Amino acid sequence: MKKYILILIASSLLMVGCEDYLEIPNDIAIDQNDVFGSYQSFQGFIDPLYQSIVDYNNHSIVVGHNLTGETLGSRGFNTSVEAANGNYRGLIYGRSNFFPFAGDKGIYAYSWEGIRIANLAIANIDLLTDATEQERNLILGQAYFFRAFFHWELGRAFGSIPYIDFVFEGDQTLDIPRYYEYNGKFDYQAMTEKTVEDFDRAAELLPLRWPVNNDGRATKGAALGFKAKALLYAGSPLMNEFSRNTATFDKEYMLRAAEAAAEVLKLANQGVYSLTPFENYQDMFAKNDGTLPVTDEVIFRKVNTDVGSGQILTFLGRLYLPESGVFGGNPQCEAVTQNFVDEFEMADGTKYIPGPMSQGGYDDNNARRWNDRDPRFREAIYVDGDLAGLAERTRLQMYEGGRTIAEGNGGNTLSPYIVHKFWIRGANRFDREWNGFRYTTPHLRLAEIYLIYAEGIYEATGDANATASNYTMSAVDAVNAVRNRAGMPNTTASPEAYDGDFREQLRNERDVELCFEGHRWYDIRRWKERPYPELFKMVFDKDYTFFNRESLRIFIFEERNYWMPFPDNQVFLFESFPQNPGW
């Protein structure tokens, strides 16, 4: 009996009954009107959509999204290690199915659950009688937004998938092709056209802002922003190739991406969004006063309601923190590689030069190695000697034999760099200033919109000084808006530090500005590039008399690693639903 994999998953995992989410006792009978008849109960039905979002740094223990060598863990079950092994099946099945793409509790299952809820909401909207027109629009807007969001989230990791825009009944037998045409586009781009239609519907229905006590809800700006991202991906070489074209940029899609991003930039001009002042940069990622890590720059993110020591000891500590006795970290800390540290420019906009001073490099130059760098470097990464807490005992010892890095001496890091972006000083086992600690990973913020706009314009025209038809900012000016916020000097359409290659400059800007937020793996793949072939660490002594680069491991990335594999227990059910190549 042929039932397509995605439909089967939708029906088996997502028969979302009213009893499930409202916890109604078995002896109380309710009907559809009880659920969908009023705005309050209908909103309660779709609220689980927000819980189906995966936070890339707070999904589960030992789970991150740094899959291209920007960090490396010290245990075989770290997501970064699974990725470095080229073992994407481990990302599906590993760590009790809690890994980010896991078949049961990750992006794969949660996205189909969200699609099912969204389709049920759209199908039952006419039952909503006890509501104003505005409230009806809010329900529909959220449903269209999430139907698009979860299809896009699945598609960018796994490739083209059927766009499920109807309610599948459990006894229904359907055969929906994975590869198909829509509006003259094929496969991934066909899926994108449907995604964009839903984001457009959502943008028409959703407000710019919600009333108070509605933190994290989808908005018009979020719908327009993700529309821009969806178009950017569809026009990138990997997705263009997967749509029966060539592994080159599709200029039409890139221009559409820029135009969609421009609509969000117009909202910023109206005061809806703004770049966060650099002195408050960390407020977008973590706070220690119990409030949400949010500023006017953050357009969309999953709301993390958990606060306090558990966020350190259970989640962030098991991912990024060193020294269990002092900070609360565990033996599987994902430390930042030297490769990624090298990505951060010098303060004057020139590139960091690897190697010793005798060869013109900065590795053993105390004034330049970790200082005189792009200010975002120290906002994102801790280095040796940094005070990671409030007490002197929390000063990091990352030198050879130092307390923080040495195995068997309480340390747990393979490389002498710690992710700082989400970790507030004082939120650790020693200081215990963690009662109000809360962190989250933005899914979309204004800085990325500037960079989407810049990339779209440049790849559509080949001219970094060009502008979109609906916005007067050039691609290079958009990049400079992000750089200037951090205190970095302007770049040009032919940046000298990058031998005139604006594309390389732009990609580096994405790496640095969006680091550890779950972007780089998707970027590397969509550009049809490859991660670092070999990962390195820096080894040095306490007195800084030597600095040597040493290999950590070879990074395995094969052609099949451009796409995640579908869970085997699903694709083996259907001959008509092909697994991704190589898996």
**pLDDT band at residue 8 under the 50/70/90 scheme:** very low
Overall average pLDDT of the 433-438 stretch: 96
DSSP string, 456-491: HHHHHHS-TT-B-TT---BHHHHHHHHHHHTTPPP-
> What is the model's pLDDT at position 96?
55
Say whether 268 sits in a helix, a strand or coil.
helix
| Interatomic CA distance for residues 229 and 297, integer angstroms | 16
| Interatomic CA distance for residues 261 and 470, integer angstroms | 10
> What is the model's pLDDT at position 171?
65
> What is the model's pLDDT at position 61?
83
| Interatomic CA distance for residues 102 and 108, integer angstroms | 6
CA angle in degrees (0–180, nearest 5) for 58-518-4: 90
For the chain, the 3-state helix, strand and coil shares in percent, each to the nearest 5, are: 40, 10, 50
| Interatomic CA distance for residues 143 and 166, integer angstroms | 12
Share of the chain above pLDDT 70, in %: 92
**pLDDT band at residue 101 under the 50/70/90 scheme:** confident
> What is the model's pLDDT at position 98?
66
> What six digits make up the tokens of 484?
């200037």
Say whether 94 sits in a helix, a strand or coil.
helix
CB 421 within 8 A of CB 282: yes
Say whether 452 sits in a helix, a strand or coil.
helix
Overall average pLDDT of the 277-281 stretch: 98
> What is the model's pLDDT at position 3?
35
Q: Tens of pLDDT along 338-371?
A: 999 999 999 999 999 999 999 999 999 999 999 9
> What is the model's pLDDT at position 175?
72
> What is the model's pLDDT at position 2?
34
> What six digits make up the tokens of 296?
């006017």
Mean residue pLDDT across the chain: 91
**pLDDT over threshold 90, residue 20:** no
Say whether 189 sits in a helix, a strand or coil.
helix
**pLDDT over threshold 80, residue 407:** no
| Residue of higher predicted confidence among 325 and 273 | 273
Say whether 367 sits in a helix, a strand or coil.
coil
63: which residues sit within 8 A by CB, 6+ positions away? 57, 79, 95, 98, 99, 100, 319
**pLDDT over threshold 80, residue 378:** yes
> What six digits make up the tokens of 196?
């964009």
**pLDDT over threshold 80, residue 575:** no
> What is the model's pLDDT at position 56?
94
> What is the model's pLDDT at position 577?
82
Q: Tens of pLDDT along 450-499?
A: 999 999 999 999 999 999 999 999 999 999 999 999 999 999 999 999 99
Burial (0-12, 13-18, 19+ Cβ within 10 Å), 309: middle
**pLDDT over threshold 50, residue 19:** no
CB 323 within 8 A of CB 404: yes
Overall average pLDDT of the 50-74 stretch: 92
> What six digits make up the tokens of 331?
């033996």
Query: Beta strands 381-382 and 418-419: pairing type?
Result: antiparallel
**pLDDT over threshold 60, residue 300:** yes
| Residue of higher predicted confidence among 466 and 90 | 466
> What is the model's pLDDT at position 29?
59
18: which residues sit within 8 A by CB, 6+ positions away? 24, 30, 34, 35, 45
- What the chain holds in terms of domains, given with CATH numbers, is 5-270+563-571 (1.25.40.390)
Q: What residues form DSSP beta bridges with 474?
A: 467
Overall average pLDDT of the 305-323 stretch: 93
Name the phi and psi angles at 549, rounded to 5: -90, 130
Q: What residues form DSSP beta bridges with 553?
A: 535
Crossing angle, helix 187-205 and helix 220-234, to 10 degrees?
A: 170
Lowest mean pLDDT among 12-21, 75-84, 135-144, 285-294: 12-21
Q: Is this structure's pTM higher than 0.75?
A: yes
Overall average pLDDT of the 243-254 stretch: 98
Q: What residues form DSSP beta bridges with 538?
A: 549
Share of the chain above pLDDT 90, in %: 81
**pLDDT band at residue 412 under the 50/70/90 scheme:** confident
**pLDDT over threshold 50, residue 1:** no
> What is the model's pLDDT at position 14?
34
> What is the model's pLDDT at position 174?
61
Lowest mean pLDDT among 37-46, 400-409, 424-433, 537-546: 400-409
**pLDDT over threshold 60, residue 10:** no
> What six digits make up the tokens of 70?
């920007």
**pLDDT band at residue 97 under the 50/70/90 scheme:** low
